[in-house]
Amino acid sequence: MIKKIDLPYPINALEPYYSAETLSIHYNILYAGYVDNTNKTEAKLQIARSTGNFENIKCLEKDLSFYGSGAILHQLFFENMGPAIPTSPSIELMNRINMDFGSYDTFKNQFTKASKAVEASGWGLLVWINNFNKLEILQCEKHQNLTLWGCTPLLVLDMWEHSYFLQYKANRQNYINAFWNIINWNIVNKRFNTIKLL
């Protein structure tokens, strides 16, 4: 069983950049749905294993990827946001950003453009690729398509309409601009530090 994470701040803590109404629906209903459906899928897989009936295995594996990735990305998303108190990449992470993207501004520009250009529903992600020993920016479609295997997400931005439409309508750029104000870099730095221990 996977569990919902507790929201690490009050529901109105991201105002005015991310409204309490959007956050409430996003966290209480949509994210909860991904956690529930991941657990339901795991339970169905357990039944399949115990009965030896793998007739629906293709569907179950697909559900595991979709719901499981949805649960994980939402957890990362809620955790890598926080009240608009300025935080910044650690010196070590900033060095990597400079090394792999040229500059922080170039990284920010690529992350913004990549997120804005996500086709339909998906995410913008800053990831660490262990096999390449470098940072990359990825888009993903839905929650699980277009990844690079072995990537570890450091910073993620939900580009599904449910994450911005209520507040920003169809203006993805304004939503992304607002997001830069509520990134909790302390969490991103912590994720980056964990990676270097591997």
> Which residues ranging from 141 to 160 are in contact with Mn ion (CB under 5 A)?
158, 160
Listed residue (188, 166, 172) closest to 26, CA to CA: 166
Q: Of the two residues 79 and 158, which places its CB atom closer to Mn ion in the complex?
A: 158
Place of tokens 């070590």: 92
Listed residue (24, 12, 6, 31) closest to 182, CA to CA: 12
Which residue's CB atom is positioned nearest to Mn ion? 158
Strand positions, DSSP E, 95-133? 122-129
**CA 135 to chain centroid:** 16
Q: How far is the CB of 124 from Mn ion (least distance, A)?
A: 12
79 binds Mn ion (CB under 5 A): no
Binding mask 30-49 for Mn ion (x = CB under 5 A): --------------------
Contact by Cβ (8 Å): 75, 46: no
Q: Of the two residues 9 and 165, which places its CB atom closer to Mn ion in the complex?
A: 165
Q: Of the two residues 144 and 163, which places its CB atom closer to Mn ion in the complex?
A: 163
**CA 52 to chain centroid:** 35
Q: How far is the CB of 49 from Mn ion (least distance, A)?
A: 30
Q: How far is the CB of 180 from Mn ion (least distance, A)?
A: 18
Listed residue (195, 187, 6) closest to 85, CA to CA: 187
Q: How far is the CB of 31 from Mn ion (least distance, A)?
A: 7
- Residue ranges binding Mn ion (CB under 5 A): 158, 160, 163
